[in-house]
């Protein structure tokens, strides 16, 4: 199947088109605004949506539309080497570089603007980094069937231990392992397979959304050997622990037990459940997700 983006190949019209789409941005701050930020909103709350592994800003299209139609300010970001971001995954040398578009967006938020960060799946780890760096800018962080690390443990534990112990042995199914090499040395990227996406990610989502995901998925890295993933002092009570956290459990997630394990590691986290939602909640239950996000936005200052 032809994919929308071929990030391992340095050439190709589609990569050139992606580069051209971003080339007019004069700064990282301008690029953050370019990435689907609503214009002309007077809302004091600003939702920043962060996609999961191998996905992109495109996966939020239903939720972005719903929230904006109700007057909310929304930005859906492409993390590095994701969506239409021009980098290839083997050009991203660290988890911090991967998360930089989110860190830039939060840093650029003007004084007085209160952010609600929303992370799906692997995107929860990028949320945790932003929460630690900028706790005063964030009204609440929402983890949507997401990796949610806890204070006192390294953030890589969510993939290193929990997924190995609580996920099916054939978790990755037909996904492809792609050798890469960057400044940290040789590694492996993962390109999620069509069967994996259909059965694990989008099982209860509309067929059109499954097709979209299969077409647009890009290789991603879990950055398992990155020192930041192994630092058990990275997340602090004073910063990360001070941000209000809400965890959204997709009740039809292929591994709902893992989601409950995330919550158990962080007592005091507010929990919402969405019945009938598969792992890709923004696709299978966008209306319910949008309503919960709007409620959270009005609840936390």
8-state DSSP, 77: E
Give the tens place of pLDDT for each residue, 216-259. Answer: 999 999 999 999 999 999 999 999 999 999 999 999 999 999 99
What is the phi/psi pair of residue 49, to 5°?
A: -105, 130
Report the distance separating Cα 290 and Cα 270, nearest Å: 17
**Whether 20 is catalytic:** no
CB 224 within 8 A of CB 249: no
pLDDT of residue 169: 78
Residues of the chain with pLDDT under 50: 1-43
**Whether 279 is catalytic:** yes
pLDDT of residue 36: 42
* Active-site choice (46, 51, 120, 279): 279
pLDDT of residue 44: 63
**Whether 253 is catalytic:** yes
Packing angle, helices 61-69 and 286-299, rounded to 10? 50
pLDDT of residue 99: 98
Q: Tell me how crowded residue 30 is: count the other CB atoms within 10 A of its CB.
A: 12
| CATH 3.40.50.1820 fits domain 44-299 | yes
CB within 8 Å of 62: residues ≥ 6 apart: 282, 283, 286, 290
* Active-site choice (5, 94, 99, 121): 121
* Active-site choice (90, 209, 226, 253): 253
pLDDT of residue 11: 38
């Amino acid at each position: 199947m032809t994919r929308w983006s071929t990030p391992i190949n340095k050439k190709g019209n589609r990569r050139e088109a992606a580069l051209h789409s971003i080339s007019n941005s004069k700064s990282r701050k301008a690029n953050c605004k370019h990435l689907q930020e609503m214009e002309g909103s007077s809302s004091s709350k600003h939702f920043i949506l962060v996609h999961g592994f191998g996905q992109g800003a495109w996966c939020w299209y239903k939720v972005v539309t719903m929230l904006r139609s109700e007057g909310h300010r929304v930005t859906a970001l492409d993390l590095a080497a994701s969506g239409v971001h021009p980098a290839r995954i083997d050009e991203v040398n660290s988890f911090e570089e991967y998360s930089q578009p989110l860190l830039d967006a939060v840093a650029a938020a003007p004084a007085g603007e209160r952010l609600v960060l929303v992370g799906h799946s692997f995107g929860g780890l990028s949320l945790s980094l932003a929460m630690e760096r900028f706790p005063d800018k964030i009204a609440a962080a929402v983890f949507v069937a997401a990796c949610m690390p806890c204070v006192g443990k390294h953030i890589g534990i969510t993939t290193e231990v929990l997924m190995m112990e609580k996920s099916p042995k054939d978790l990755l199914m037909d996904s492809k392992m792609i050798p890469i090499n960057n400044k940290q040395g040789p590694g492996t990227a993962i390109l999620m397979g069509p069967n994996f996406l259909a059965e694990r990610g989008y099982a209860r989502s509309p067929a059109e959304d499954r097709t979209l995901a299969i077409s647009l998925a890009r290789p991603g890295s879990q950055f398992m050997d990155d020192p930041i993933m192994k630092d058990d002092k990275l997340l602090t009570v004073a910063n990360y622990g001070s941000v209000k956290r809400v965890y959204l459990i997709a009740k039809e997630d292929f591994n709902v037990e893992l989601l409950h394990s995330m919550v158990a590691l962080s007592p005091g986290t507010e929990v919402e459940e969405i019945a009938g939602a598969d792992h890709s909640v923004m696709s299978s239950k966008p209306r319910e997700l949008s309503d919960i996000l709007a409620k959270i936005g009005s609840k936390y200052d």
